[in-house]
Chain A
């Protein structure tokens, strides 16, 4: 990165590389610990927190109403019917799972690549993963119509003597998503144990000491424990990496294994994974920017993080753009199939063609502004850009699901799709649930990993040079 045009005296900039510091200079083990733990251990909850929590809670209530009505009336209250049998439920499922993927990417893949800057943001990115998977997992379950029989997906001995059919991608999905949810929770919790020990030791109230004491499981920072802990963390990261790639791959198989024009394509797995990371990073930025402002964490979540996340978004956005252009090339120029040709024409210029152009604008055109370093370091710009990308990625799934389903092979079986108010209420409700859980998380759990921040401070290194040992009696 260029060094010339940066002010020399800015303490946030590295004089050699011109990069922004990952942590502001001057921090000690104690100061980083206090900065993070005060948010959780403060006896006074900020008023803004209550405001946001209540607002999100309102949306959760809306979700509960929508779900209750769904259970009373059945999925007919949504716009799903033949030919569009998937509708919003699957659009939202894929979108939410995708958002979750950035959390795993930040915590696992960047750990393996030794990207130290990830340390301040990995905890809440992992929390984001879990909450997004909760929202995502709900959709297939309620979409089956009788969610109380959802356990039929699992292989278990039953009086009907019926077993699942393992050649179906929908079955694979069940195992991929449940494994992903489990491993994400374990990774998140194990990563938090040392910090919970810190909170146990710093809590002033009896209740806090019990609460964090139970969760910390008696962590005392023995170096033997740390050695095994580090091995386990690396292994979990090494396992989560192929897992996260496989989860969205399996989800794309749900589409790619079907024979519909627009779905039956081999580009889907890589481009779904890239899209997932793209939208996930956008969501991390959407969350990180208000949080660092509200809790004054600009020292720990610095412009370096926002800049780097902007670069990742740009890179994954270009992969996604490559995916779109491959689709266009295949259907217009290469496949020599009427159905594929018509699918693409319909997608661009059909009755809901506008959604395709929204997607291209939000996912490809506008993100090109991220090439500018100045804009990447502008906090308001990055916030707006992250919202744009999230919108674009939602429309990507909308376009894939809806346009292919409304008009497939036989014109006599074509249909249309118009979401109902219950579709919108359920989707907005999951946004509320996600925010609601996130508010709980930032209030009661350490959102920045303190032990990893300590490790990044310059004084954390062991210096081997001999210092005189005071002899007994000195």
Chain B
């Protein structure tokens, strides 16, 4: 990422999730789009308020699971039918019933790994540096008991004075300008 300077955004701090949702809702209504909320536990209403309704983790998980199924079943079939056929008491080389068990396990393995790593990838994690960590009140609150709304400066509607005035209407505990 290129080194950037200036303002990342304005960070408003709230005491309760209800205040946060109200402010996020208001900002979305007012036309802000580049924004995010930060909460110490999942607040679904806040995600809905900023227009984030669907995510693709389930799709990634499904694709991963099918891939796992196909991989293991294909491997078993190839090994038992072509690569190393063994006659075990006259049972068929293509014993699909027996192959189902490892294939089932690998479906779960691939699906689980895809869900976990897919979630991290879509979230852009690991990302050890983020401008928000520069805000003096962010780290003491966002993972403990405070609720934050950040309106980002890349939004076309963003204006330092106007946006600060807009946020102040929702009686936040504080509004902080966050530097890159």
Task: A452 to B42: give the CA distance in the assembly, Å.
Answer: 9
Instruction: Please tell me if the beta carbons of B133 and A226 are within 8 angstroms of each other in the complex.
Output: no
Contact B126 A223 (CB under 8 A): no
Contact indicator A217/B55 (Cβ below 8 Å): no
A211 interfacial by beta-carbon distance below 8 Å: no
Q: A224-B47, A232-B118, A463-B18 known; A171 and B102 CB under 8 Å?
A: yes
Asked if A292 CB lies within 8 Å of chain B CBs, one says no
Most buried by B among A220, A236, A455, A467: A220
- The answer for the CA separation of A228 and B42 in the assembled complex, in Å, is 10
Contact code string B79-114 (vs A, CB < 8 Å = 1, else 0): 110011010100100010011011011101101110
Chain B, Cβ-Cβ closest to A172: B101
B interface residue count range (under 10 / 10 to 19 / 20 to 34 / 35 or more): 35 or more
Which residue in B21, B50, B101, B170 is a CB contact (below 8 Å) of A462?
B21
Q: Say yes or no for A114: interface residue by CB 8 A criterion.
A: no
Residue B176 lies at the interface, judged by CB distance under 8 Å to chain A: no
A5 in contact (CB, < 8 A): no
Nearest Cβ on chain B to A26's Cβ, whole angstroms: 15
List, in ascending order, chain A residues with CB within 8 A of B52's CB: 223-224, 227
Q: Which residues of B contact A198 (CB under 8 A)?
A: 40, 143-144
Q: Which of A161, A175, A217 contacts B84 (CB 8 A)?
A: A161
Contact A220 B40 (CB under 8 A): no
Chain A: interface residue total (CB-CB under 8 A): 71
Chain B residues within 8 Å of A176, by CB: 101, 105
B116 A236 Cβ-Cβ under 8 A:
yes
User: Closest chain A residue to B78 by CB distance?
Assistant: A163
Q: Report yes or no: A163 in contact with B83, Cβ–Cβ below 8 A.
A: yes
B76 contact from A166, A197, A250, A451, Cβ within 8 A:
A166
Q: Is B17's CB under 8 angstroms from A166's CB?
A: no
B127 touches which of A218, A223, A228, A236 (Cβ 8 Å) = A218
Q: How far is the CB of B8 from chain A (nearest CB, A)?
A: 13
Contacts of B61 in A (CB 8 A): 232, 235, 239
Please give, as numbers and ranges, the residues of chain B lying within 8 Å of A240 by CB-CB distance: 108, 112
Report A309-340 CB contacts with B as 1/0, cut-off 8 Å.
Answer: 00000000000000000000000000000000
Q: Closest approach, in angstroms, between the C-beta of A224 and any C-beta of chain B?
A: 5
Docked complex: B32-69 residues within 8 A CB-CB of A = 36-47, 50, 52, 55, 57-58, 61, 65
Which residue on chain B has the smallest CB distance to residue A162?
Answer: B84
The interface stretch among A38-46, A89-97, A131-139, A180-188 is A180-188
How far apart are A208's CB and chain B's nearest CB, in angstroms? 13
Q: How far is the CB of B63 from chain A (nearest CB, A)?
A: 12
Q: Out of B98, B102, B108, B123, which one reaches A183, CB within 8 Å?
A: B108
Min CB distance A186 to B, Å, is 5
Determine the main DSSP class of B at the interface with A: helix
Residues of A within 8 A of B142 (CB): 201, 220-221
- Nearest residue, chain B, Cβ from A224: B52
Q: In whole angstroms, what is the CA distance A194 to B144 when docked?
A: 10
**A2 adjacent to chain B (CB < 8 Å):** no
Min CB distance B78 to A, Å, is: 9
- Chain B residues whose C-beta falls within 8 Å of the C-beta of A163 in the assembled complex: 79, 83-84
Is B18 within 8 A of A462, CB to CB?
A: yes
Contacts of B38 in A (CB 8 A): 220-223
B108, A179: Cβ atoms closer than 8 Å: yes
Binds B, one of A27-35, A77-85, A403-411, A426-434: A27-35
Smallest distance from the beta carbon of B170 to chain A beta carbons, Å? 6
Interface presence of B1 (CB below 8 A): no
Task: Output the least CB separation between A140 and chain B (Å).
Answer: 16
Give every chain B residue within 8 A of A461 (Cβ-Cβ): 17
Given contacts A179-B106, A198-B144, A246-B105, contact A232 B57 (CB under 8 A): yes
Q: Which residue of B lies closest to A222 (CB)?
A: B36
Shortest Cβ distance from B24 into chain A, in angstroms? 8
Whether A218 pairs with B119 at a CB distance below 8 angstroms is no
Q: A239 and B126 in contact (CB under 8 A), knowing A179-B105, A455-B41?
A: no
- A72 located at the interface, meaning its Cβ lies under 8 Å from any Cβ of chain B in the complex: no
Residues of chain A from 427 to 466 with CB closer than 8 A to chain B in the complex: 451-452, 454-455, 459-464
Answer whether residue B120 sits at the interface, using C-beta atoms and an 8 A cutoff. yes
Q: A175 to chain B: which residues have CB within 8 Å? A: 72, 101-102, 105-106
Interface presence of A225 (CB below 8 A): yes
Measured CB to CB, the closest approach of chain A to B1, in angstroms, equals: 13
Residue of B nearest to A196 (CB): B143
Apart from A198-B144, A219-B125, A223-B39, 14 more pairs, CB < 8 Å: A162-B84, A182-B113, A201-B139, A218-B128, A223-B42, A223-B46, A223-B50, A226-B39, A227-B55, A232-B57, A232-B119, A235-B111, A235-B112, A243-B105
Can you name 20 A-B residue pairings with CB atoms under 8 Å? A161-B84, A162-B84, A166-B95, A166-B99, A179-B105, A217-B126, A219-B125, A219-B143, A220-B133, A221-B39, A228-B123, A229-B42, A231-B55, A239-B65, A243-B108, A243-B112, A246-B101, A454-B145, A462-B43, A471-B169
B residues neighboring A (CB under 8 Å):
16-18, 21-22, 26, 36-47, 50, 52, 55, 57-58, 61, 65, 72, 75-76, 79-80, 83-84, 86, 88, 91, 95, 98-99, 101-102, 104-106, 108-109, 111-113, 115-116, 118-120, 122-123, 125-130, 132-133, 138-140, 142-145, 165, 168-171
Smallest CB-CB A-B distances: 3 pairs? A29-B145, A217-B126, A232-B119
